[in-house]
Structure 1
């Protein structure tokens, strides 16, 4: 089953027990003939292979760990099989470990009855070592032959040494405890990966599709663009598409993290994996199964888990030198006291072997990946897409955050905020219908706000006949209704109409609205000013609360960057509570300002919509895009995407990142401290193989449990 050389092939891998083993598998694959490069993603249990190879060759490269390899797509279909595997009885799954443990029990019974020097006692412990440690020794011996030093090499040398000096019982216990430690490590990583597996199971594998007048259940891989899906109440939507018939509320929590169902009507977009709660929907498929938003999220999250964070890079580099150093220290402990200080050889060889076991870097190696996988998985389930461990760490260290105004702090949709009728003789509803009929013919961006206002007030305007309509460039519009000419425009337009008197009170009203960041339009005839209508880009309800939370979290500077005029910008900045505002900026100015902030504060985030803010997003330490769901640009360009277009997710993302940073530091410190304490026990000669393996196992377990806490961080 040869793969083509001109593209990357991704495979799922089953059987990784530790990050070191994943690194060894990667090196083995790189050495295969026809392979140019390979990259293992331990967090997602995947390998990307660049070049020409077969599954058989890949499995041979992973034979040391009994790894099973399958193409990524085929593995996706095998969810049911993996579920069957999970249901395998406990005693069958861990039969080797249980048999070895049983032999240890018999060994201790024989020890009580027959004594330590008895042949049967020694044979029982030796049998336990061979059965429980067979897979460990197989790899350990190969490593020794190649002078490769990893944790399995350390354990193999330690157990052989224990057998040589007659410590059969302790050698057997070390084998069992190491096997338990590896099982716990594997279980912990599987728990962390479960958050991604649960994402994979969100979207249905089949959908009810209408083709040629017939309804049929079709597998998602066979659904074509343009097919019409029929989604009944209570069913999940299988593919991204657009509603062509029906009305319903759809729960999008799986994609966007929104807890409240979203209203969906004709022409609205829907996403694969979301739940149709109320009405029947007919949906036209717009994306193939591998291009859906949920497929992209899964892909990006898995890629993110493979991105090494700075702390992980440090650990990987440290572990590379750490293991050989431990081997040297153990040899010195075993040799120096007997040679130079008259120590007993058996005692100090035993101490040296204990040093080897203490030196096993399980806890250190797992400390960072388990934290990153847990945090990124938790964020994805809450509607925050973090595209790598590096961004997770950098978000935790942010000092300043810049916000684009339109579509980020504001909704990006203009609305009518004020409608002041100044002429008592005018009828409010009748006047609004005339204004809307005129604006309907206008191309002005603010016209849509007035039309929406009329629709919300149930005011009809389509039956009004407008004559002599014309646009007055830079000033407004005019048109005749029932023989009367109406003007809508800025104050300049009416000041130029000599027949209209603009009173100080009216001027003050317009100035007041403008100071509030609103665009004021005057409505009148050639004789009278009839009304003032104000339109503004509405501030998001959540913006003020989010800025307050960010300041409480210790973000030193929040700054709004906008191309809008200073009056509007200052008004909006005041209402949301940002610490600074910069207005009338071009995209280049935003970019320059971000660079300036970086030089001043170091770690700076930019929050924008991912399209016109692309240069500024790229220049910031962390680019955060609003509305990742359905927005390919935001998903591709940003380092972090807030899927539900919900700014309230930002404080949660920062809190999660800080927790992750803290837990990674705790884990590394704890893993190294416990090793150091155990090593110090060598000085008085108190270190035993028991203490050594229990300290290693305890450290691994605590580090894993500490990392898994990140899955429970709430908003």
Structure 2
């Protein structure tokens, strides 16, 4: 294999189980110049690496020959449908289209008759799909055969064979197409051999019933998989199709997908936000529940970010667009989840490897069951061939193959809808094994910005102290100044004008306010101007010990008051840390802040293990030390300053509100930066792994039971096919519980 020169993504129509995905991956992976093929049945997507773009048409041809539709997602245009000599047996929208004139609905469709899957389950009701129609036709043929057999017993055998062929011909053609692609051991192959073998031993009635039940099972698989796929596609539908573009003094309605960067849009109360952007005028409560799961509307004002798909609550907003439709928060979340679903977990990779050997072994087992007893003991050939055919049906690998990806896909989708993003099955699987979590302080356990916590007035009201301090800080962008101004705004304090304002380097700021000289600065700088009372000095020391920064306000040469500020813990930080402890996970705070402040915040949060005054390389070293103790370590940070530690951890988790950093730098991201979501992510992982274990038990358990009963002669072909299709439906339905 030569050097990879590019990657390509495709939408593949018609996949409804893990076996479908494996078949496509194997066929495409055999092509020269193609590598790293990843296929997800749940998202209906495929990605691959290629050496030369000229090799891509062969990829599309290989997929279509297997009976699936394929459309390039990077190029933007569906691949044309190739002519096939066979007549069509289904379309995509319930209408007939000519293949030589493909339109938007049919472009990229599979050659009809090869697969019979409902290629676009979300475009209409399931019962209107050609797959459903084929199943109903097979069922009707079976009922007709029973009726004809009752009326004309001599024609019974021929009637059941004809009924069987209605459903078997498409199945056999798919088996043949897969064999030509170098994949002879497929579920279609097993089904075809079993049905034809049943006819040979004069079990045509059962053969027809088994084919019908197989089609019913596939239909149910398709419906279940469509539900899982729709769960994440529903996110994309949150973004409105149109937007109100501001042009001078007027507005006009335009398609949301045509909005460019820095365009200005108007959002009315009750409207969904059509694009990511920054508010440039207006203030309103924004319902972010559709995107982040946040139940309480968030108040947004000028300078705040809004996300596409959220709902404007109460006032008109003017917003400057900061991301195009292809790159807004929802689009990136959908893209990330789809890519994550293509990245297989260790368990899924093991099941894939196992299934490649499993199907040939099943074929061999069926042959041995059919041949050995008659040869060795002189048993009845017909009876044991019948049992051998039943073994083939019992051994179909669909339920086993879908057991893991169905659960992982449902879990990743459920997490994404709640702002919990995990980049692939390996991350999802590893999250549940965490035994220690190292958390950054600033911006992770705390708000990431200081807030005024204490106002002590001496001879004045607290409002006066706040107003004078805000007057001095007006126009400043310093974090402490912004904290004072934010508190003044929140308290509704009227801020008087200041004149002759000037900053005194490293000490504070002074100005004339209401005819008086006012100074605001650090206690040491204030003590150089006036003598601080002993009780005030003691109070300042107490505040400092609590990790707070204190500013002293002087008016006319005397102390008027003090303001204390601190980067306060997030509202849910204590609850989030308790949740992690309840899961048996050790927590450690890692921060570059001073030891006194870190210890104060740690005490407030109930954390015993606090490491302070750390450089990035120190955080990385501590993570490695925790791993050396045998712990599985997760590192939670902002995705930039903590990059070395995030990379060193078993799982790196970024806290952020939909930024590029939060979505792209770490293994996982928590969109709305809630500490409690770390525990939710771990819980989701553990539930998923439990679900996978249940699925594997169901898949193998049913097969084991029916294998024994078949060899004993208790059950036959009908229960055998139910063991396969029934198990597949059961494990898929069980996995879909995770969507809740």
- Please give the TM-score of this superposition, normalised by the length of structure 2: 0.87
Equivalence map 1:163-178=2 (5 Å): 163-178=199-214
Counterpart of 1:611 (choices 640, 665, 689) is: 640
In 1: Cα distance, 2:701 partner to 2:286 partner? 51
8 Å CA contact retained: 1:256, 1:644: yes
* Distance change (3 Å), C-alpha of 1:710 and 1:557: same
Counterpart of 1:218 (choices 238, 251, 254) is: 254
Is 1:268 paired with 2:301?
Answer: no
In 2: Cα distance, 1:226 partner to 1:472 partner? 37
Between stretches 261-270 and 399-408, larger displacement belongs to: 261-270
TM-fit CA distance, 1:532: 3.3
- Cα deviation, 1:358-415, whole Å, max 9, x if unaligned, reads 1101100111111111111111112222221111111122211121111111111211
TM-fit CA distance, 1:492: 4.2
Equivalence map 1:184-263=2 (5 Å): 184-211=220-247, 215-263=251-299
1:534 aligns to what SS in structure 2?
strand
In 1: Cα distance, 2:159 partner to 2:462 partner? 98
TM-fit CA distance, 1:431: 4.3
Counterpart of 2:420 (choices 365, 384, 396) is: 384
8 Å CA contact retained: 1:235, 1:275: yes
Equivalence map 1:239-638=2 (5 Å): 239-422=275-458, 424=459, 426=460, 428-439=462-473, 445-466=479-500, 469=502, 471=504, 473=506, 476=508, 488-493=520-525, 500=531, 502-503=533-534, 505-524=535-554, 529-552=559-582, 554-629=583-658, 631-638=659-666
TM-fit CA distance, 1:510: 2.1
Counterpart of 2:166 in structure 1 is 131
What are the ranges of 5 or more consecutive residues in structure 1 without an aligned counterpart?
none
1:236 aligns to what SS in structure 2?
coil
Between stretches 294-303 and 18-27, larger displacement belongs to: 18-27
In 1: Cα distance, 2:667 partner to 2:405 partner? 19
Counterpart of 1:659 (choices 680, 687, 698) is: 687
In 2: Cα distance, 1:362 partner to 1:644 partner? 38
Counterpart of 1:98 in structure 2 is 136
Alignment length (residue pairs): 697
8 Å CA contact retained: 1:627, 1:643: yes
TM-fit CA distance, 1:346: 1.3
Between stretches 31-40 and 411-420, larger displacement belongs to: 31-40
In 1: Cα distance, 2:713 partner to 2:253 partner? 71
Counterpart of 1:162 in structure 2 is 198
* Distance change (3 Å), C-alpha of 1:509 and 1:178: same
* Distance change (3 Å), C-alpha of 1:665 and 1:78: farther
Counterpart of 1:108 in structure 2 is 146
In 2: Cα distance, 1:9 partner to 1:442 partner? 49
What are the ranges of 5 or more consecutive residues in structure 2 without an aligned counterpart?
79-102, 108-119
Between stretches 527-536 and 188-197, larger displacement belongs to: 527-536
In 1: Cα distance, 2:683 partner to 2:29 partner? 39
In 1: Cα distance, 2:426 partner to 2:514 partner? 66
Counterpart of 1:684 (choices 698, 707, 712) is: 712
1:555 aligns to what SS in structure 2?
coil
Between stretches 610-619 and 480-489, larger displacement belongs to: 480-489
8 Å CA contact retained: 2:370, 2:381: yes
* Distance change (3 Å), C-alpha of 1:500 and 1:686: same
* Distance change (3 Å), C-alpha of 1:91 and 1:460: closer
In 2: Cα distance, 1:460 partner to 1:516 partner? 30
Counterpart of 2:81 in structure 1 is none
Counterpart of 2:157 in structure 1 is 122
* Distance change (3 Å), C-alpha of 1:27 and 1:618: same
Counterpart of 2:71 in structure 1 is 70
In 2: Cα distance, 1:574 partner to 1:537 partner? 14
Counterpart of 2:39 in structure 1 is 40
* Distance change (3 Å), C-alpha of 1:518 and 1:352: same
TM-fit CA distance, 1:192: 0.5
In 2: Cα distance, 1:632 partner to 1:462 partner? 40
TM-fit CA distance, 1:23: 2.6
8 Å CA contact retained: 1:562, 1:583: yes
- Cα deviation, 1:28-78, whole Å, max 9, x if unaligned, reads 344557756644333311223534359975554234543222233457x97
TM-fit CA distance, 1:95: 2.6
Counterpart of 1:18 in structure 2 is 17
8 Å CA contact retained: 1:611, 1:634: no
TM-fit CA distance, 1:262: 2.2
1:70 aligns to what SS in structure 2?
strand
TM-fit CA distance, 1:563: 1.4
1:229 aligns to what SS in structure 2?
strand
In 1: Cα distance, 2:335 partner to 2:262 partner? 24
TM-fit CA distance, 1:228: 2.2
8 Å CA contact retained: 1:204, 1:237: yes
* Distance change (3 Å), C-alpha of 1:432 and 1:137: closer
In 1: Cα distance, 2:710 partner to 2:475 partner? 89
RMSD: 3.1
- Please give the TM-score of this superposition, normalised by the length of structure 1: 0.89
* Distance change (3 Å), C-alpha of 1:80 and 1:507: farther
* Distance change (3 Å), C-alpha of 1:583 and 1:101: same
In 2: Cα distance, 1:61 partner to 1:381 partner? 34
* Distance change (3 Å), C-alpha of 1:518 and 1:46: same
* Distance change (3 Å), C-alpha of 1:448 and 1:139: closer
1:371 aligns to what SS in structure 2?
helix
TM-fit CA distance, 1:680: 2.2
8 Å CA contact retained: 2:653, 2:668: yes
In 1: Cα distance, 2:122 partner to 2:432 partner? 40
- Cα deviation, 1:70-109, whole Å, max 9, x if unaligned, reads 233457x979995884147548652322222222223334
- Cα deviation, 1:235-272, whole Å, max 9, x if unaligned, reads 22222222233333222222222122222333322222
